[in-house]
Chain A
């Protein structure tokens, strides 16, 4: 066998192996996705959205309590997390630039983005749950906000840096003060990018379960009082799936399906915004 033949054969083997591993990887992922869709659609019904939690064995159980709880936990986390993240990102991109302080904040945020979220839960337990003596919706929202913050901060920073500096200079030349330049020129130029960052940040946090286990805890009934334990889709999913009751497990799959569709929609929307921006 000549050297060339050997190279061609090696090439074929490696190409075969990597195509195979792509197939294996993708089929596993398709497996999970199809199970999610099949079980999810099977378990979906109108009563899921209109009925709250029920004891096992009761056919009329729904997820209304978890959906509303999830939305409230999120609304409050985003209400604080999104503006704070955008403002901090604005500092990095517009004032901090390449200073040592700004670079340190970038590095630490990058690390925090991959840090284990359950640890954030432990931290919030220590500063909110333990002093107040009970699990609460607020504690859950604070944990989610802490996880959301570095993601939004970093994407805002990156997206604002994409705005050409000539735009800023033109506005300065017209005599605009810096805050006006930022709000009216930089923010406007980076709108699609920042929005994408916010969508992806919210999507990332939407699937968080671990930090909610011992902050917002759970409640099998509808509760809208943020100072009380509160249900979320993710924790409900965990409790229902690990329960021995078949009807609860079914509701768990419905919750998994609803949550995944929500997260995938946010991700796809985020991508479309970016594509639209590039298309211009």
Chain B
């Protein structure tokens, strides 16, 4: 009797686990199938065409791709130095009495939903940008800054974790030789934790590029490529969030599905590079 239950239990768990793999494959297939109409209509020019005009049934993704790349790039430029600073502060400078509360609050802030960062951006940050740069304040620049603040806690927490993997004995040896804190950070911690630190940045990049709510509030969803960062713009997730529920034709839907597929492929690739190349999985308890 229990041999049968044993078999059922083993197979049921296996079935569900394999189900997770099939689900991911299913997601790719469904998105691809629904993109077909748009792929057939526009082919490769979907990626290079700058005109997004639903009323004319013309869909070009370049403004959204451009917006995703530029806003994420801005966010990374701003967040990376801050995250390194916070991580060095937490791992080497802060007194242990400050270290834990600050570290924990940063981790808790990483758990605050991105829609709240977006709301803060809309009500408190947009007016500041408007006052400084003119215009309406809803812009690529605002999106980049809000995005950088949203990924900062996550980035700082994982960078600190990567830095903390440096064995104490290495650091202590360097201090014993008369190294300053900066010497230890630069010559011991960074070389030791390099892969982990770069991996965390790329992982944060993967998250930032797919982030929707933090930027939807402040980007404006305007399909225009402009070198002026204070102009409204759009990105792939912003387009999806604004237009998906309102699309009214097969080709319109199909173009949005192609954008989703594109976003999934881009973030899947970035996250895979971070995970497989830089962050080999550490098993707890081993």
Chain B contact-residue range equals 35 or more
Check A19 against B113 for contact (C-beta < 8 Å): no
| Per-residue B-contact encoding for A191-220, CB less than 8 Å = 1, 0 else | 000000000000110111110011001000
Q: Is B18 an interface residue (CB 8 A)?
A: yes
CA distance A24 to B85 in the complex (A): 10
Picked from B23, B113, B285, the residue with its CB within 8 Å of the CB of A263 is B113
Check B2 against A208 for contact (C-beta < 8 Å): no
Q: Is B147 an interface residue (CB 8 A)?
A: no
Picked from B108, B122, B152, the residue with its CB within 8 Å of the CB of A264 is B108
Picked from B104, B212, B244, B264, the residue with its CB within 8 Å of the CB of A115 is B264
Check A118 against B16 for contact (C-beta < 8 Å): no
Query: Which of B104, B113, B206 gathers most chain A CB within 10 Å?
Result: B113
| Per-residue A-contact encoding for B254-286, CB less than 8 Å = 1, 0 else | 001100100110011001100110000101111
Query: Which stretch (A43-51, A59-67, A71-79, A87-95) binds chain B?
Result: A87-95
Main secondary structure of the interface of B (DSSP, over half): helix
> Nearest Cβ distance between residue B87 and chain A, in whole angstroms?
8
> Nearest Cβ distance between residue B198 and chain A, in whole angstroms?
16
Check B3 against A117 for contact (C-beta < 8 Å): no
Check A234 against B113 for contact (C-beta < 8 Å): yes
Check A118 against B14 for contact (C-beta < 8 Å): no
Listed A/B pairs (27) with beta-carbon separation below 8 Å: A7-B183, A17-B85, A21-B84, A22-B90, A22-B94, A25-B106, A25-B152, A32-B109, A33-B112, A88-B13, A111-B272, A114-B267, A116-B237, A118-B241, A119-B263, A122-B260, A123-B26, A126-B257, A150-B20, A179-B5, A238-B213, A242-B217, A256-B115, A260-B113, A260-B116, A263-B112, A264-B112
8 A-B pairs with the lowest CB-CB distances in the bound complex, closest first: A207-B113, A116-B210, A21-B85, A11-B180, A91-B13, A22-B89, A210-B212, A179-B9
Chain A interface residues (CB < 8 Å from chain B):
7-8, 10-11, 14-15, 17-22, 24-26, 28-29, 31-33, 35-36, 84, 87-88, 90-92, 94-96, 101-102, 104-112, 114-123, 125-127, 135, 146, 149-150, 153, 158-159, 161-162, 177-180, 182, 203-204, 206-210, 213-214, 217, 234, 237-238, 241-242, 249, 252-253, 256, 259-260, 263-264, 267-268, 271
A-B contacts besides A91-B10, A125-B244, A207-B114, 13 pairs, CB < 8 Å: A11-B181, A15-B181, A24-B85, A28-B149, A28-B152, A110-B271, A119-B27, A119-B210, A121-B244, A177-B3, A179-B6, A210-B237, A242-B122
